[in-house]
């Protein structure tokens, strides 16, 4: 899998005049990578992900997945939103099966595939429950299982843990890291949480605001098998401080 974004610009027309949301964005994601784009409000993070998902059309530039230009939504890209987007009248099992049904998969095969990914996210025992019976973290696991079940080339995550309380958020971050290591899925995730970006990603793109541009691409050279204790390490704190300095408009030391 190779995702490439070249000179991507997005401008919106409003009654007050045109608004430039993104300008000359260049980034890439390779097979099995976990990449985060981090930025403050106004950096166009969600717009960027919607463009990659094919839900918005670029003003200029291009988005390419494995040599094919993105012109709209496609099964090669799976999206996980912040607000779960589960169907409340469907069981957990049926929610995970839904994308497979749209793909035309037969009943038995989609049931087996959905069951497999519910097991992957640790929710087999809740397969027949309705979403209202689940906690926020469990609902997001269902949304992740639904995306994984369609077997996309890359998973796009739009601040997926932003609506969770601090403790659940940290639990879900560890879950996501473990899941990525087990499945090898390619991930592009956007977040405003600097600690989250450093904890999860192999590479981080730091975005400026108004309009969103790539200020720095940063390689995060921390062990793959991270847990919460790594947040205490000096290297982790240095990465976090460097990114915070960039977001504040200061030049970081970047001394490694």
pLDDT digits (tens, 9 = 90+) for 92-103: 999 999 999 988
Torsions phi, psi for 158 (to 5 deg): -100, 90
Say which range, 54-58, 114-118, 225-229, 251-255, has the weakest mean pLDDT: 251-255
Q: What angle (nearest 5°) sits at the alpha carbon of residue 172, between those of residues 169 and 178? A: 145
Q: CA-to-CA distance for 206 and 248, rounded, in angstroms? A: 11
pLDDT at 254 over 60: no
Q: What is the pLDDT of residue 163?
A: 83
Q: CA-to-CA distance for 243 and 81, rounded, in angstroms? A: 24
Contact at 8 Å (CB) between 57 and 40? no
Q: What is the pLDDT of residue 76?
A: 94
pLDDT digits (tens, 9 = 90+) for 30-45: 999 999 999 988 899 9
pLDDT at 231 over 60: yes
Contact at 8 Å (CB) between 206 and 214? yes
pLDDT at 180 over 80: yes
Q: What is the pLDDT of residue 40?
A: 87
Rg, the chain, Cα only:
18
pLDDT at 119 over 70: yes
Q: What is the pLDDT of residue 249?
A: 82
Mean pLDDT along residues 245-255: 73
Query: What are the domain boundaries of the chain?
Result: 1-76+159-256, 85-151
Omega within 30 of 0 (cis) for the link into 124: no
Q: What angle (nearest 5°) sits at the alpha carbon of residue 200, between those of residues 195 and 203? A: 95
pLDDT at 252 over 70: no
Q: What is the pLDDT of residue 236?
A: 97
The architecture that CATH gives domain 1-76+159-256 is 3-Layer(aba) Sandwich (3.40)
CA atoms within 13 A on the CB side of 108: 0
Q: What is the pLDDT of residue 255?
A: 45
pLDDT at 82 over 90: no
Say which range, 28-37, 58-67, 81-90, 225-234, has the weakest mean pLDDT: 81-90
pLDDT at 25 over 90: yes
The β-bridge relationship of strands 214-219 and 203-207 is: antiparallel
Omega within 30 of 0 (cis) for the link into 245: no
Q: What is the pLDDT of residue 256?
A: 44
Q: What is the pLDDT of residue 201?
A: 97
pLDDT at 10 over 70: yes
Please tell me the chain's helix, strand, coil percentages from 3-state DSSP, rounded to the nearest 5: 40, 25, 35
Say which range, 123-127, 180-184, 217-221, has the weakest mean pLDDT: 180-184
Q: What is the pLDDT of residue 196?
A: 96
Mean pLDDT along residues 61-77: 95
The β-bridge relationship of strands 203-207 and 34-38 is: parallel
């Amino acid at each position: 899998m190779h995702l490439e974004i070249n000179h991507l610009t997005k401008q919106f027309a409003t009654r007050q005049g045109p608004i430039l949301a993104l300008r000359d964005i260049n980034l890439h994601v390779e097979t099995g990578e976990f990449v985060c784009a981090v930025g403050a409000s106004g950096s166009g993070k969600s717009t960027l992900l919607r463009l990659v998902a094919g839900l918005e059309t670029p003003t200029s530039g291009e988005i390419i997945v494995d040599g094919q230009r993105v012109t709209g939504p496609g099964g090669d890209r799976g999206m996980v939103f912040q607000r779960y987007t589960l169907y409340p009248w469907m069981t957990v099992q049926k929610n995970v099966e839904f994308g497979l049904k749209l793909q035309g998969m037969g009943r038995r095969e989609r049931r087996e595939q959905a069951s497999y990914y519910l097991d992957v996210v640790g929710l087999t025992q809740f397969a027949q429950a309705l979403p209202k019976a689940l906690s926020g973290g469990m609902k997001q696991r269902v949304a992740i299982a639904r995306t994984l079940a369609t077997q996309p080339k890359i998973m796009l995550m739009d601040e997926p843990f932003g609506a969770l309380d601090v403790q659940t958020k940290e639990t879900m971050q560890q879950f996501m890291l473990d899941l990525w290591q087990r499945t090898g899925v390619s991930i592009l995730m956007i977040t405003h949480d600097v600690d989250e970006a450093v904890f999860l990603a192999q590479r981080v793109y730091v975005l400026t605001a108004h309009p969103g541009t790539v200020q720095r691409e940063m390689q995060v050279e921390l062990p793959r098998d991270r847990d919460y204790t790594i947040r205490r390490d000096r290297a982790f704190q240095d990465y976090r401080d460097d990114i915070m300095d960039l977001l504040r408009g200061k030049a970081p030391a970047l001394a490694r």
